[in-house]
Amino acid sequence: MLMNIDEIRRYLPHRYPFLLVDRVLEIQDGRILAIKNVTVNEPFFPGHFPHHPVMPGVLIIEAMAQVAALLSCKTEDVIPTEDSVVLFAGIDNARFKRQVVPGDQILFEVRLAQSKRGIYKYKGIARVDGAIAVEADLMCALRIKP
């Protein structure tokens, strides 16, 4: 299953400059593969760092959480509305192993580890050119607004 940016925008409430997923390549059996193309025009590069631009690790984790949210929605066959949202609920075991710089393409692989009553736990890996850049355990919660 492939999701282009238009379909991603149907499932995620994020918009520029905070939508950090460009394409979903595959969703199957509790696993999702998605990409983020990192360009020199990203709004964070002028300040992080001017002479050696590096994508902030927290934004790589946020992108991974957005990918996990897409998997949550597709797994439950839910399109979030104004009355529902998938929230980033926790992170454990985050490890940063490689810098991500302009021109890189991040390949996210997120696998569902456990789900119970609208709480989802995931194992996520972000790779650049086949090398692990970031890995983390994530938790997301699907919530309906009262």
Residue of 144, 137, 116 whose CA lies nearest to 68? 137
Total H helices, total E strands in the chain? 2, 6
CATH number of 66's domain: 3.10.129.10
Distance, in Å, from the CA atom of 81 to the CA atom of 13, rounded to the nearest integer, reads 9
- On whether the CB atoms of residues 14 and 59 are closer than 8 A, the answer is no
Task: Give the residue numbers annotated as catalytic, written as ranges.
Answer: 48
Q: Does residue 46 have a cis peptide bond before it, meaning omega lies within 30 degrees of 0?
A: no
The ranges of the chain with pLDDT < 50 are: none
Distance, in Å, from the CA atom of 20 to the CA atom of 22, rounded to the nearest integer, reads 7
Distance, in Å, from the CA atom of 104 to the CA atom of 48, rounded to the nearest integer, reads 16
Q: How many domains does the chain divide into?
A: 1
Q: Is the full-model pTM beyond 0.85? A: yes
pLDDT of 83 reads: 80
Q: Domain range spanning residue 18?
A: 5-144
